[in-house]
Amino acid sequence: MDIANIRKDYTLRALELDEVTDSPLEQFSLWLEEAITAKVNEPNAMNLATINAQNRPSSRIVLLKGLDYGFIFYTNYNSQKGQELQERPFAALNFFWPELERQVRIEGNVEKTSEADSDRYFHSRPVGSQIGAWASPQSQVIPSRFFLEDREKEMTSRFQNETLHRPPHWGGFRLIPTYFEFWQGRASRLHDRIVFERQTTEEWTRKILAP
């Protein structure tokens, strides 16, 4: 494979400083809406990066499930990412929408969502996904796929006679942003990059970065 010669020139759009809104959350919402309208594949998929006790990063793709004053996603609190976020409540997100030649990087502090919000989202999920949250000891070593299938059968049987409620080890996190970078691909790798940095709760500074 000639990986070094895989190239794509970006020519769809431009991003100017006077075109973005004063609020990066509002700007992000506009871009997300455009990605959804353009039928981008999994527009709410985002790379989540965390840090472990040895200060080593790890990342994975998770799904954005809510947007208010932060970015909300859900997981098993006992998973690797769940434990890392509770021990070091800082993280970075990256959205990539190749069909629009755009990406957005976000950094910030992390908090748990309320139990009421976690309950509400949990009960909005398909029943199979609710069962899966009980069946999977996420991030732990398991002997085989059969182990998961047996656990799924066990939990399905259990909740035929018991109310299917949210597991205590499962719930939401909210990343509260302190940094945004909006990236628009441009020709000759001279991409547009606009950064927002939080100064106060309501105030952000804006600047342009060289590609």
| pLDDT, tens digit (0-9, with 9 covering 90-100), for 64-89 | 999 999 999 999 999 999 999 999 99
Q: Which of 70, 125, 75 is nearest to 93 (CA)?
A: 70
Model confidence at 200: pLDDT above 90 = no
Please determine, for residue 117, whether its predicted confidence score (pLDDT) is greater than 90.
yes
Count of all residues that appear for the chain in the document:
211
How many CB atoms are closer than 10 A to CB 138?
Answer: 17
Query: What mean pLDDT is reported for the chain?
Result: 96
Structural tokens at position 26: 């509002």
First and final C-alpha spacing in the chain:
27
How does residue 201 score in pLDDT terms, banded at 50, 70 and 90?
confident
Spot the catalytic one: 189, 193, 198, 206: 189
CA pair distance 9, 141, nearest whole angstrom: 43
The full set of domains in the chain, from first to last, is 3-114+174-209 (2.30.110.10)
Q: What is the mean pLDDT of residues 128-149?
A: 95
Residue with tokens 């006790």: 53
Active site residue 7: no
pLDDT digits (tens, 9 = 90+) for 11-24: 999 999 999 999 99
Which helix (H) or strand (E) covers residue 68, if one does? none
Helix (H, G, I), strand (E, B) or coil at 173: strand
Instruction: Report d(CA 194, CA 16) in Å as an integer.
Output: 8
Q: What is the pLDDT of residue 1?
A: 86
